[in-house]
Copies of this chain bind each other. A is one copy, B any other.
C-alpha cells in the first residue's frame, strides 16, 4: 500500500508540516502506538518479577510539547502556540516522516524504547523521561525534514 500521495499538496516548509491538522491527527495514532509498545517493552524489561506487561496509555501533551522544546524545533510550530499546539506539531512531524517512509513504526518504537530510562511507573518521572526519549526521536528526524522555515 502506497500512501505518500497524502503528502502531495503540502509545501515542504517546516511551518506547513508542523501546523497541518490532518497530519497531526494521523500522527496522534502513530505516537500512541509507538509509545504504548515501547513503554510495554520497557516495563517488561525493568520488571523485577519477569512479568510481561502490555499497556496502551496515551502520550500526554506535556510529554510531546516538552520534547519539541528540548529538540529545539519550535520553528515547526504555530507562532505563540500553547502546549497543545506544540504537541500537535510533534504528531504532525511523526506522521510526515512515516508517510514519506523516512522511518518505520518499528524503528520509532526502537528509538523510544532505547531512550527510556528510570522508573516511569511514577508519573512525574515518566513525563520527564518520555519527553527526553521523544526529543531524541525528533533529533534523529531533523535531517529528513525541510530546512525552509516558512
Q: Point out residues on A near B: beta carbons under 8 Å.
A: 1, 3, 5-9, 20-30, 32-33, 36-37, 40-41, 44, 51-57, 99, 105-107, 109-110, 113
Contact = CB atoms under 8 A, between A and B. Distances in A.
A24 to B, nearest CB: 7
A20 B51 CA distance: 15
28 contacts: A1-B41, A1-B106, A1-B109, A1-B110, A1-B113, A3-B40, A3-B41, A5-B52, A6-B41, A6-B54, A7-B52, A9-B52, A21-B54, A22-B40, A22-B53, A22-B55, A22-B56, A25-B57, A26-B33, A26-B36, A26-B37, A26-B54, A28-B56, A29-B29, A29-B32, A29-B36, A29-B56, A105-B105
A24 B56 CA distance: 8
Given A1-B113, A20-B54, A105-B105, A36 B25 contact: yes
B25 A56 contact: yes
A3 B6 CA distance: 29
**Interface of A (DSSP majority class):** helix
A54 B23 CA distance: 7
Contacts of A110: 1
B5 A41 contact: yes
B1 A107 contact: yes
A132 to B, nearest CB: 19
Contacts of A56: 22, 24-29
Contacts of A8: 52
